[in-house]
């Protein structure tokens, strides 16, 4: 991850979550500059963020000091590739909407042209106030503002409801995405359906046939599509890893078996403009199932298996000309073998695009944080990506798929 990120903290208890964001960015090699409002200092000290960011954290006291160069807010505004405001309070939200500039943060916002990522946090009753919601909707109408909606849960005031700031993992994923795309919203108005994770086929309540898929790549695709403006539905196998990086705007349907995933994908396919089948769905399941644990002594020496219906092939039969269907080919072997198998699958299953990736490598296999793939479309165009994060690969796949799709 590369870039210059200005992180602004306003006065809310969720400020403590931003420590992880700033620390992770600095460790990843991102240049980070922190601004704290006067209210934020009541919750967390500038020294904490100075230590985590490896540079002095700035406050309003710095803003009003005489300088020997250009005004501080102009320097910061021109320096930043991205401005992140987290937590965003109702007070600062109102200031942004009405163009106020009464502190360092709001002056930087008005002096800058870079994308602004906002992550609100407040009490549920405050969030649901008509004035706050009106301000929120007005802010989102401005092209440069990108948002991670608050989630639901137990708040610091002991209330239970919406208003909880997005988790640090979700904020970090959004930052990486915006640095990659410059905040463009080229999927605005599109419906995207994605499957992720590995399905499980049960022999009895405690034993199953499965695979090592974690869902990391599918989750990355959902995040990427959502942050580019799409309405995203993610069908996520229960075996997937922690999904804290998902923002609350993504609709998640949790499944476990291939039959459940098959049903969910078919049910949501009709409204999707783009469907990406990134899940590792089982090929076979046991021919019979016991609803009680089978005693070890009674386990059969061999299992009778039956083939699982092919989800992507069934989707292809229903695909309209205005829909894009994208699949993955997780293969082993050398590059020639991997691509040959992917091309065969692309044609056999009537896909628009396939992403071929080798899974017999620690850097590109199941559970890895990085990936590499060759994208092939039905016109024969073929592009191989460098080794990169799974989020970057997700954006590269969307770029490839959008070349001929408006």
- Active-site residue list: 157
C-alpha 5/C-alpha 96 separation (Å) is 19
Q: 3-class SS at 50?
A: helix
Strand (E) positions, 4-137? 4-9, 31-36, 82-88, 116-120
Query: If you ran DSSP here, which 8-state letter would residue 58 be given?
Result: B
The stretches of 254-332 forming alpha helices (DSSP H) are: 258-269, 311-318
139 strand-pairing partners = none
The answer to whether 194 touches 222, Cβ cutoff 8 Å, is: yes
The answer to whether 192 touches 233, Cβ cutoff 8 Å, is: yes
The answer to whether 376 touches 384, Cβ cutoff 8 Å, is: no
Strands of the sheet with 31-36, listed across from one edge:
31-36, 4-9, 82-88, 116-120, 145-147
Q: For strands 145-147 and 374-377, give the pairing.
A: unpaired
C-alpha 401/C-alpha 377 separation (Å) is 8
């Amino acid at each position: 991850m590369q870039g210059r990120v200005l992180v602004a903290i306003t006065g809310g208890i969720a400020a403590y979550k931003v420590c992880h964001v700033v620390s992770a960015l600095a460790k990843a090699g991102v240049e980070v500059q922190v601004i704290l409002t006067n209210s934020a200092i009541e919750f967390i000290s500038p020294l904490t963020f100075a230590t985590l960011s490896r540079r002095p954290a700035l406050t309003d006291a710095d803003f009003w000091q005489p300088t020997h160069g250009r005004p501080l807010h102009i320097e910061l505004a021109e320096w930043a590739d991205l401005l992140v405001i987290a937590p965003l309070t109702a007070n600062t939200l109102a200031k942004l909407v009405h163009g106020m500039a009464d502190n360092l943060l709001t002056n930087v916002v008005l002096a800058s042209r870079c994308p602004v990522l906002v992550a609100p946090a407040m009490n549920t009753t405050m969030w649901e106030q008509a004035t706050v919601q009106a301000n929120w909707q007005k802010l989102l109408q401005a092209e440069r503002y990108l948002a991670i909606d608050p989630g639901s849960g137990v708040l610091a005031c002991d209330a239970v409801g919406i208003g909880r700031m997005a988790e640090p993992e979700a904020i970090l994923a959004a930052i990486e995405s915006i640095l990659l795309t410059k905040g463009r919203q080229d999927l605005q108005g599109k419906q995207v359906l994605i499957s992720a994770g590995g399905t499980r086929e049960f022999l009895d309540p405690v034993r199953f046939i499965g695979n090592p898929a974690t869902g990391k790549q599918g989750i990355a695709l959902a995040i990427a599509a959502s942050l580019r403006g799409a309405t995203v539905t993610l069908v996520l196998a229960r075996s997937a890893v922690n999904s804290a990086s998902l923002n609350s705007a993504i609709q998640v349907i949790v499944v476990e078996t291939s039959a459940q995933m098959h049903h969910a994908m078919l049910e949501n396919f009709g409204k999707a403009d783009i469907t990406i089948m990134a899940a590792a769905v089982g090929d076979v399941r046991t021919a019979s199932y016991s609803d009680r644990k089978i005693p070890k002594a009674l386990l059969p020496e061999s299992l009778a298996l039956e083939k699982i219906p092919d989800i992507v092939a069934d989707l292809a039969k229903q695909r309209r000309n205005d829909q894009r269907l994208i699949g993955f080919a997780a293969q082993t072997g050398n590059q020639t073998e991997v691509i040959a198998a992917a091309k065969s699958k692309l044609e056999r299953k009537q896909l628009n695009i396939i992403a071929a990736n080798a899974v017999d490598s620690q850097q590109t296999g199941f559970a890895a944080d990085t990936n590499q793939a060759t994208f092939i479309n039905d016109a024969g165009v073929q592009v191989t990506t460098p080794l990169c994060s799974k989020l970057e690969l997700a954006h590269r796949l969307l770029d490839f798929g959008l070349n001929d799709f408006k």
